[in-house]
Each structure stands twice: as structure tokens, then as C-alpha cells.
Amino acid sequence: MATQKTSTDKKNKAQLELHPSIKQFLSHLALAEGLSQNTLAAYKRDLSLFQSWLSQQNTPINSVTAETLEGFMLDLLQQGRKENSNARLLSALKRFYQWAVLMGVFELDPTLLLKAPKVAKSIPKVMSESQVEALLYSPDQHTPLGIRDRAILELMYASGLRVSEVVELPFEQLNLSAGLVQVTGKGNKERIVPIGEVAIEWLERYLQESRPSLVRNRWVPTLFVSRIGRSMTRQTLWHRVKNLAFDAGIQTQLSPHTLRHAFATHLLNHGADLRTVQLLLGHSDLSTTQIYTHVAKERLSQLHKQHHPRG
């Protein structure tokens, strides 16, 4: 009976039609604010979860109070949902109700008196410079895919681009003669990032030797292409980086942002100021960039202990 009930609950949840106001809000995020598909999918999951919970409570979405929201968040905590996830979900609810009141869809915003739970920022694990060098040298530079992989890794480490920014980078936004790349980041915000000589050298080699043999006679708008000559996906690139790291014998746990973290931390270790790193990463808030100062200080402390005679 319990199994049958669980199956029925899942079926009901799947069949739950999104409230028109949520659909309008998601359309607004997509059209007016230009959020990425991944971000839109996260908003949709969070708001669908909230609507499903309201349905179980027989509470209309336009009758929600602060007490209703507190009950919802409490239920999630009791189910073992992580604080990071709850903070993101509450942020989605706040944005949804702010938009709904502004557009005259609802009269009151029940999130006004709610405060997001404080979530401790986790310090990202960063590869050492020697590990990055080992990763950069791991692709086979005698094959089209190896040349492509080396060009990707060099560009990521030279510029700090996100994985999504790399795979979506239009061909024409790369200016090798000027040593610059124009990036469209989160929220359609554009930034121009310089790239170094080594990255330029490998990108030129990729464009001359590798890309033509991969795309053949097809036109592909993105700079980097897959083995079958089509635009790459985030998943494809991420798995490729993990496999190359394994080949290089790197034991550090990797994430899609590993080279981005290394880019920022190594810049700070070599004397770059925080504001410059913020601009290069495309962070809208300096506090987001400040996490890397903790990484840099931790690294310096480790080096001191390792090499100082009284460390």
C-alpha cells in the first residue's frame, strides 16, 4: 500500500499543471532578463515544488502568507533538504512574489518579512599551479580532438570563463589579433577578457589544424565543436576535463569551475587586486570574488608551513 501511495503521489505531482502566474513569471525571466536554460530550469523546479506543497495544503497561491511560507520551509528542513537548496528556493519565491505584486497579479508579497537562512560560503578546492600545468599537457597534441582540448584548457585557464561560456562562445567573439575574447555571461552581461600568448598560440593551431577537420563543410556558430562537428554541451566538456585530469594523475576533486577557481586564485597569489579579478570573472558583487582571498591565504599558509624552517 505504501509503495502504491508513493507511486500515486509521484504521478499526481507530475500531472500538476503550473499555475498561470508561474508560467508568466518564467516567460518574463526568459524573455526580459535573458536567464540561461539551467537557471530557468532551477526556478521552475523550485516553484513547482512550492505549488505542489500548496496543493497538498489546499492553499491557493494568491492566498499565501508569511506563516504559510514558514511552514513550507520547515517541512523542507524536516525532510532533510540542504540549507543551500532552501536559501536558493526562498530567493526564487521572493523574486516570484515581487514580480507578481509589481505586475498586479497578486496584491501582497508574503516574502517581505522572511529572511533567507545564512549559508556559510564553502571555500572552493583549487588546483596547484603544477597540477594545472599537468592538466594542460595531458591532451594528445597530435590529434584534432587533442588540439581542441588543449586549446579549450588554455583558454579556460587564461580567461577564467565558465564552462557554459566556453561551449556557447560564438566564433566571431574571439579576437586573436587583439588577444581578447568577448564573453556573454549570466544575465546577458557582456565583458571583454584578455587572453595570454600561449592560449592564442593553441587557439590559432585549433582553428588552422583541428576545427576544419571536425566541422568539414558544415557551418557551426560556436568556436568549439564536438568530435562529430557540432556545438559541444556542458556535459561533454566537463566529462572531457575529468578524463584528462585522470590521465594526468590529478587526485584533487574537480568541479566544472575548477579551472575558473584556479585562474582567480593564482592571479591573486601573483599580486592581482581583487577588483581586477572581479571584472575578469564577471562577478556583479565584489563579495562573491572575496571567497578567493581565503583560498589564496590558505595556500600561502600551507606554503609557509611546508617551506619555513619554523613552520
Residue tagged active-site, from 186, 191, 234, 299 = 186
Residue tagged active-site, from 44, 81, 257, 299 = 257
Q: Is 283 a catalytic residue?
A: yes
Which SS3 state, helix, strand or coil, does residue 295 take?
helix
Residue tagged active-site, from 19, 211, 260, 261 = 260
Task: Check: CB of residue 28 under 8 Å from CB of residue 99.
Answer: yes
Q: In the chain, what are the helix, strand and coil shares in percent, each to the nearest 5?
A: 60, 5, 35
Residue tagged active-site, from 43, 157, 206, 292 = 292
Question: Which one, of 119, 111, 50, 49, lies nearest residue 84 by Cα?
Answer: 119
Q: Is 125 a catalytic residue?
A: no
Q: Is 186 a catalytic residue?
A: yes
Q: At 233, list the grid cell.
A: 554541451
User: What is the edge-to-edge ordering of all strands in the sheet holding 190-194?
Assistant: 174-175, 180-184, 190-194
Residue tagged active-site, from 19, 150, 162, 211 = 162
Which SS3 state, helix, strand or coil, does residue 153 take?
helix
Q: Is 227 a catalytic residue?
A: no
Q: Is 260 a catalytic residue?
A: yes
What is the four-CA torsion angle of 138, 140, 145, 147, rounded to 10 degrees?
Answer: 90
Residues taking part in catalysis: 162, 186, 257, 260, 283, 292
